[in-house]
Amino acid sequence: MVILSKAAIEQFSYVRNKQAAALFPPLIPTVDLSKPDSKHHIIKACEEFGFFKVINHGVPMEFISRLESEATKFFSLPLSEKDKTGQPKPYGYGNKRIGSNGDVGWVEYLLLTANQDPNLATENPENFRDALNNYMAAVKKMACEILERVADGLKIQPRNVLSKLMMDEQSDSVFRLNHYPPCPDVVQSLNGNVIGFGEHTDPQIISVLRSNNTSGLQISLKDGSWISVPPDHHSFFINVGDSLQVMTNGRFKSVKHRVLANSIKSRLSMIYFCGPPLREKIAPLPSLMRGDQQSLYKEFTWFEYKRSAYNSRLADNRLMHFENIAAS
């Protein structure tokens, strides 16, 4: 666990959470990738939750533990050392400010492009870089397998129609390390909650998340209530992103999620955002359209949507600007 000094804690800002969690939350769907029928469970989870847990994922625990260790060392550095990595424009090190539109949280982070070696301000940058590359390669492979099982479950061909967007040399995938320090103010707040990372959906195709064994992640259900996701540092969690919602013409829903701060333990999360090439046109897949069914969304490129998303607040409905009014 990373222990922060009072001076380090004062680097952060926060906003309080006013929305309560569900009283009787459903169980988080779990998908066993070693099972031949996993594709059916993936489809059901994407339709009902936009979110699921993955076990027997094939990512070596050695890769996970090593990257977690290197990330912990990085976030333990003095702020002046972490700042040498560069300000997030959009890639680099940042704290409390999330994006450029006024969103803040009880978080510091390292945002990296998945296709280039990062500038890392650590004592042994090669160790950190090697840990990142091994982890990202293994997670990318797992994510491609999941997307191909999505294609199988939806009965669309070719089965790499989604995974090829990640495998493309120009894929715009992003990797993020988030560190949420212990927040002493949690115990003083009226409802015991302080927002670490505000509610939002992810704009990419899917996001692959894991964290240490500290709680904090919550997802929103269809009725607007929130449920806490029990931490499991041996497993991964998959978020449906806005792009996959569009490509399935709304059959899958991108999941709104947030992170609450913890008063005692720090939380470290790692997220691989599976993005298509900037030039890729995003629209409902023709093989999923039936008869005279209309597209719910206007066609757009990933570059256009990414630019719109980065110019929005976290909680904004980004897809609203790309909805096909004629189909509503």
Q: How far apart are CA 306 and CA 151, in angstroms?
A: 24
For 144-194, the pLDDT digits (tens) are 999 999 999 999 999 999 999 999 999 999 999 999 999 877 544 445 577
Describe the chain by its helix, strand, coil percentages, rounded to 5. Answer: 30, 25, 45
Active-site residue 267, yes or no? Answer: yes
For 75-122, the pLDDT digits (tens) are 999 999 998 888 777 788 988 877 777 777 889 999 999 987 777 867
What per-residue confidence (pLDDT) applies to 56? 97
Prediction pTM value: 0.90
Mean pLDDT of 222-239: 94
Cβ atoms 10, 121 nearer than 8 A: no
Pairing of strands 206-211, 226-228: unpaired
Q: How many CB atoms lie within 10 A of CB 30?
A: 13
Amino acid sitting at position 199: E
For 264-305, the pLDDT digits (tens) are 899 999 999 999 999 999 999 999 998 888 999 999 999 999
Nearest to 254 by CA among 98, 52, 53, 51: 51
Please provide the average confidence, as pLDDT, over all residues in the chain: 88
Which distant-in-sequence residues (6+ apart) come within 8 Å of 149 by Cβ? 38, 39, 42
Consecutive H or E run containing 134 = helix 125-154
| Among 267, 279, 313, 318, the one annotated catalytic | 267
Give yes or no for residue 7 having a pLDDT over 50.
no
Q: How far apart are CA 254 and CA 318, in angstroms?
A: 11
